[in-house]
Amino acid sequence: MQQPERSRYGVTLLSYEAGVFDLDGVVTNTARGHCLAWQRLFDTYLSTLAERDSALFQAFDPDEDYRRYLDGKPRYEGVRSFLESRHVYLPFGKPQDPPDQETICGLGNRKQRLFEKLLAEQGVEVFASSIAFIESIRTAGLKTALVSSSKNARDILARVEASHLFDAVVDGIDAERLGLHGKPQPDIFRHAASLLATPPDQAFAIEDALSGVEAASRAGFGLVIGVDRAQQREDLLAHGAHIVIDDLAELMPPGVVQQDPLPEALGSFDRLVERLGRRLPAIFLDYDGTLTPIVDRPELAMLDAAMRATLARLAQRCTVAIVSGRDRANVAELVGIDNLIYAGSHGFDITGPDGLHMQHECAAEFLPTLDSAENELRARLADVPGVLVERKRFAIATHYRLVAERDVDRVRAAVASVVGEHPQLRQTGGKKVFELRPQLSWDKGKAVVWLLEALDLADDAVMPIYLGDDETDEDAFVALRERGGLGVFVGDASHATAASYRLDNTDAVRRFLGRLAGRLEGAS
């Protein structure tokens, strides 16, 4: 299968197999009508409530309230999430509830009436640039699907005579029938990809809603393009968009598009906290390059006192785990805080408070192979000045940071030859390092997911956040993205990454963790 070509800064659209499009706000300008209908509904309802309870009336905000609580979400879910933001809790009721019933469904049905009235009065406007773009990628041979939380989607497509532009449609009616969760859950995007017989990572998605880019990102789409119709560029990026455009005309003719820089996590701290909401964070931290600057030799990477104090402070309020490529005992000693979780050898070896202990069930079988590979490497590299062979329990790092440029190929060749002779091992990369690890489907991402489940943190009350700087941390970013967690890349993120935010360096990491600790202290 052809892999979408991702150059360092650009992505070639036509190398994807398919494009999946949201309707309201992407293909048609109906988001405005939805917003107006919600505004009419809630202003009337909230003023009735204010009168009834002799409370202050606070009008519906068509910008903030719409984009945060309603845009892209299924009808009843939107009612629930907006009312909850105003501390109004209504019974769900039944979808058949009449529009004057004071239930979630009743209010949702009232909004539908208002929306239909607006459609009848104002008609539906299409974005001509979107239609032109969809036509052009279909001509180029890509498959297309439409996804929408709206139960009006098929009707609207028919009204604007655009049904023929899509090989598949998944709308709010399908979602209800098939029991698919609404955005920001990934279900309807995954279903659309399966109807197109295309793996999500071979497709791009185009969405204008925060819940929508998050859903596409969690579904694992190869490229998520946010359309900024509401001045929310940073928010779209933070919710999982790789690229943000103002209009699909910018994609014409379909070719290479530039990736946006990730939002900086300290600068976007308030937004990030808003996304956290009432959830408790669970913090996962890589060591080298994240908690300590990269230095010439592994043994010189010492944690400074300020970072140690920040970690200890944070660990008083939430789960903190160090997930490192280093040997577990070594990284635990370097960090030196008792009540943390330590995952070493890229997650093969884990310990933590209250007797938490896990060694990958098959890892021990690889010890003789690792011993033999280590001996081989040491023998072959004995005469290469500057090379360092670092043995961890379940991995071997061959460092070439101090090796002269002219000798690096010798190191590369020696590692390649040793891994060739030990097919039970696989080679991974990193910062000036070649690593050999057991040939098992296990990595930092799987270790983090294992930890979330083992610690009973795999639920909606917890938001996992992973900070890392290197190739092996991408596995964790991907795993968390699929679970609605957050990845924060440390360093210069000018390459494709599954993280949603970035921090410049370890100093910024310390300040970020400190602010998080401060917020949790304030919340208690």
Q: Which residues bind ligand L263DTV3 (CB under 6 A)?
A: 286-289, 294-298, 301, 324-326, 390, 392, 397, 399, 401, 430-433, 435, 470, 472
Identity of the residue, 376 or 435, whose beta carbon is nearer to ligand L263DTV3 in the bound complex: 435
Using the structure block, give the residue that is written with the tokens 């979107």.
130
Helix/strand/coil for 500: coil
Q: What is the 3-state secondary structure (H, E, C) of 416-445?
A: HHHHHHCCCEEEEEECCEEEEEECCCCCHH
Q: Which DSSP string corresponds to 60-95? A: --TTHHIIIIITTS-HHHHHHHHHHHTT-------T
| Minimum gap (Å) between residue 433 Cβ and ligand L263DTV3 | 4
Closest CA to 466 of 445, 493, 491, 441: 445
Among residues 97, 174, 187, 286, the one annotated as catalytic is 286
Token pair of 343 as six digits: 């995952």
| Minimum gap (Å) between residue 451 Cβ and ligand L263DTV3 | 15
Q: Which residue is nearest to ligand L263DTV3 (CB)?
A: 325
Q: What angle do CA 61, 65, 68 make, to 5 degrees?
A: 155
Token pair of 419 as six digits: 């891994």
H-helix or E-strand spanning residue 110: helix 104-122
Cα separation values, 149 from 22, 23, 109, 155, 207, Å: 9, 9, 15, 13, 12
Helices (H), 230-285: 233-238, 269-276
Helix/strand/coil for 280: strand
**Peptide bond just before 254 cis, omega within 30 deg:** no
Helix/strand/coil for 56: coil
| Minimum gap (Å) between residue 292 Cβ and ligand L263DTV3 | 7
Identity of the residue, 401 or 519, whose beta carbon is nearer to ligand L263DTV3 in the bound complex: 401
Helix/strand/coil for 241: coil
Identity of the residue, 206 or 389, whose beta carbon is nearer to ligand L263DTV3 in the bound complex: 389
| Minimum gap (Å) between residue 444 Cβ and ligand L263DTV3 | 7
| Minimum gap (Å) between residue 291 Cβ and ligand L263DTV3 | 8
**286 annotated active-site:** yes
Q: What angle do CA 509, 515, 516 make, to 5 degrees?
A: 90
| Minimum gap (Å) between residue 520 Cβ and ligand L263DTV3 | 24
Identity of the residue, 24 or 390, whose beta carbon is nearer to ligand L263DTV3 in the bound complex: 390
Closest CA to 72 of 85, 60, 59, 81: 81
Identity of the residue, 200 or 298, whose beta carbon is nearer to ligand L263DTV3 in the bound complex: 298
| Minimum gap (Å) between residue 145 Cβ and ligand L263DTV3 | 38
Tell me which residues are annotated as active site.
Answer: 286
